[in-house]
Structure 1
Amino acid sequence: MEELLKKLGYQDTDIKNIIEGMKKEKIYTSKEENIDERYNKLKEQKLALEEQIKGANDTISDLKKNSKNSEDIEAKVKEWENKYNELDSTSRAKIKNMTIDYAINSKLSGVNEKYRKLLCKEFDTSKMEVKDTGEIIGLDEQFKDISETYKEWFESSTPSNTGSPGNFPRKSNVVNNPFIKETFNLTEQGRLLKENPDKAKEFAAQAGINL
């Protein structure tokens, strides 16, 4: 952060004040790559669940191999089969939900946070299918419908006129989010951090970045 602010032309005194102010307010920076890191953690959780399923399945196979019509072993096999079926069902549901939740939040990363939670509830995840490749069937179609239904929450511009007689153009006061991919701008990020830290934090959150 310090190096970035220097490159943007801030004086040492200003940089010190910004960094100390951020620490005081418990505002921390995270690189854009952290989005990928969070997704990698999600994939690790998925792999861990899959390993649990495999472990349970291997245990069942071993018990069956060692079974010699022993009632105790047969009972143990049945117990593990029940555990496996329960774990398999629960894990697959968790994996599906984690994958879909991440994808939905990525789709809505450019939407104002106060609308994002409301929009998330509009998705019917029961109608989505997660392929082994990670592709989510049904997500794009729902996103298209939702973005059209609530298009005012997705728009980043103000109305083109004042609504008064003469229909004179109104100058837009909308500031593009410099943290999202489409309008990424380091200079604007630095300016916002200095002049309006709260707005910078809001914009960063929309891009999935914790400041």
Structure 2
Amino acid sequence: MVVKTTSATDHATDLAEVFAQIRRHNMRLNPEKCVFGVQGGKFLGFMITSRGIEANPEKCKAIIQMQSLQTVKEVQRLAGRLVSLSRFIPKLAEKAGPIFPLLKKPKDFQWTDQCEKAFQSFKTFLTTPPILQRPNHKADLLLYLVVVESAISAIIVQKHQKVQTPIYFISRVLQDAEKRYQMIEKLALALVTAARRLRPYFQSH
């Protein structure tokens, strides 16, 4: 549970309302696990700061320190770590195109030059991952879709004074049947996928 406000006065008022709701529903909080009046901290695996939502540096470091992969198990480990940071990585499914197929053919494992190039690009990117912004209900939200042969991607951004800042990146690999879709069908699929994944942002805006 996070209660965020822009001033100390508002924070006290909002906390009082939250506590009232908690008492109304006969819920209890563990004081030892509560933190009040802070400007940032770790929440759901991410870093919430005054600058925005930032990737957990420990998760980034875990990928950066990995050596070239030699087994399917190591690829599984990499895939899991990338997925945990997917909201910060644009076009993840497309960029991981040479790597993810290795999970489907464990007996034919071959770490190619393309795999290594994709792997190194992720490591370089995660040295300075983007800072995602919290939605401002007074600013416009824009959704961009990207479609390639094997993947679909989307990004929701916020526009304020002609400047666009990222809020969330999503992407996924296309199934074999989906790869045969026409371009307009792939765009529709990307839109539906984005609408489902980003529903909380659309509903609250």
TM-score normalized with structure 1 length = 0.25
Q: Which of the pair is proportionally richer in helix?
A: 1
Select the structure with the greater relative contact order (CA < 8 A; seq sep ≥ 6): 1
TM-score normalized with structure 2 length = 0.25
